[in-house]
């Protein structure tokens, strides 16, 4: 062990002398590298947490069918939500709402939205081929004569998507 330490020390002295770099600079550079690695590890953990929570997520409101054809109730209106990313996203605790009126809102149960998959939240119909979600609201949600805005929030209450028409 002592022989190895002596060899390393001699090589370091020769390298430092030939390059003009002192030991203090090598130590400083090592400390900076360690600090940068710690920052990178922290940033990676933060990015992972954001992805798990849906912040910066590729889950987006992609369409609002606001002028339903069912007379009076327009129960066939819907908001389409699509996972545009390449990783799945659990929607449990996420909220979709009409923020123009402040209601209705839907809190999602556990549902894994796969990459490329779209679901729909209907005003008052259930379509299992689109996830089976409904506000269960007895009258039209989306205003036909003036724009409305739908907002999607993750389980932590952070807005991840907004769409108006």
**Which residue, 40, 120, 44, 53, is CA-closest to 87?**
53
Written out in words, the top-level CATH class of the domain with range 59-164 is mainly beta
Contact 106, 97 (CB under 8 A): yes
Reading the chain (165 residues) residue by residue, the pLDDT tens digits are 555 545 445 555 565 556 655 555 555 656 665 655 655 455 454 444 444 544 558 999 999 999 999 999 999 999 999 999 999 999 999 999 999 999 999 999 999 999 999 999 999 999 999 999 999 999 999 998 888 999 999 999 999 999 999
SS3 call for 121: strand
The answer to pTM > 0.85 is no
Contact 126, 114 (CB under 8 A): no
């Amino acid at each position: 062990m002592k022989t190895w330490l002596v060899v390393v020390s001699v090589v370091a002295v020769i390298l430092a002398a030939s390059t003009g770099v002192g030991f203090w600079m090598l130590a400083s550079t090592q400390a900076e590298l360690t600090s940068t690695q710690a920052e990178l590890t922290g940033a990676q953990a933060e990015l992972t947490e954001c992805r798990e929570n849906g912040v910066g997520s590729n889950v987006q409101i992609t369409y609002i069918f606001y002028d339903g054809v069912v007379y009076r109730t327009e129960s066939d209106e819907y908001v389409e939500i699509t996972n545009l990313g390449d990783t799945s996203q659990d929607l449990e605790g996420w909220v979709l709402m009409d923020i123009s009126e402040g209601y209705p809102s839907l809190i999602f149960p556990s549902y894994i939205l796969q990459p490329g998959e779209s679901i729909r939240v209907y005003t008052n119909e259930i379509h299992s081929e689109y996830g089976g979600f409904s506000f269960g609201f007895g009258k039209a949600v989306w205003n036909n004569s003036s724009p409305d805005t739908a907002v999607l929030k993750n389980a932590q209450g952070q807005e991840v998507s907004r769409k108006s028409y």
